[in-house]
Structure 1
Amino acid sequence: MSPSEPTRLAVLLDKQEIQEVVVRYMRGIDRGDLATVAGCYLPGATEDHGGLFVGPATDYLASVADALTHPRAVTTHFTTNVLVELPPEDADTARVESYVLAFARVRRPDGGVGDTLTAARIVDEFAREDGRWGIRHRVLRWEWNHDMDRTEGWAFGLIAGPDSPLRRSAKHPDDVLYADSLAPEAHA
Structure 2
Amino acid sequence: MPPTEIDSAELQGLLDKQAINEVLMRYSRAVDRGDEALLRACYHDDAVEDHGGSFLGAASDYIAAILPALHSDRLMTHTVTNVLVELESPILARSECYYLSFARYPAAEPPFETLTLARAIDRMEKRDGVWRIARRTLRWEWNREQPIAETWARGGIGDPAILLHGGKMPNDPLYDA
**TM-score, length basis structure 2:** 0.94
In the alignment, the residues of structure 2 paired with residue 107 and residue 61 of structure 1 have an alpha-carbon distance, to the nearest angstrom, of 23
Report Cα offsets for 1:83-105 as digits up to 9, x if no partner: 00001xx2100000001110000
Q: Where does residue 167 of structure 1 map in the other structure?
A: 164
Instruction: Write out aligned runs for 1:134-173 (5 A).
Output: 134-161=132-159, 164-173=161-170
- Find the counterpart in structure 2 of residue 49 from structure 1: 51
* Whole-angstrom distance in 2 between the partners of 1:166 and 1:11: 42
The answer to whether the aligner puts 1:131 opposite 2:132 as a matched pair is no
**What is the CA-CA distance between 1:108 and the residue it aligns to?**
6.8
Which consecutive residues of structure 2, in runs of 5 or more, have no partner in the other structure?
Answer: none
Equivalenced residue count is: 174
User: Using the alignment, how far apart are the partners of 1:101 and 1:82 within structure 2?
Assistant: 12
Corresponding residue of 1:185: none
Measured against aligned partners, the alpha-carbon deviations of 1:152-177 in whole angstroms (never above 9, x if no partner) come to: 00111222345x21111010011100
CA pair 120-12 structure 1, distance change in 2 beyond 3 A: same
CA-to-aligned-CA distance 1:112-150 (integer Å, 9 cap, x gap): 211100001110000001110000000000000000010
CA distance in 1, matches of 2:133, 2:80: 16
Identity %: 45
Classify the secondary structure of the residue corresponding to 2:69.
Answer: helix
Extract structure 1 runs of 4+ deviating beyond 4 A. none
**TM-score scaled by structure 1?**
0.89
TM alignment of 1:30-179, pairs within 5 A: 30-70=32-72, 72-87=73-88, 90-107=89-106, 111-161=109-159, 164-179=161-176
CA RMSD of aligned residues (A): 1.4
Q: 1:14 is matched with which residue: 16, 19, 28?
A: 16
Unaligned runs of 5+ in 1: 181-188
Please state whether the residue corresponding to 1:156 is helix, strand or coil: helix
Q: How far apart are the structure 2 equivalents of 1:49 and 1:121?
A: 10
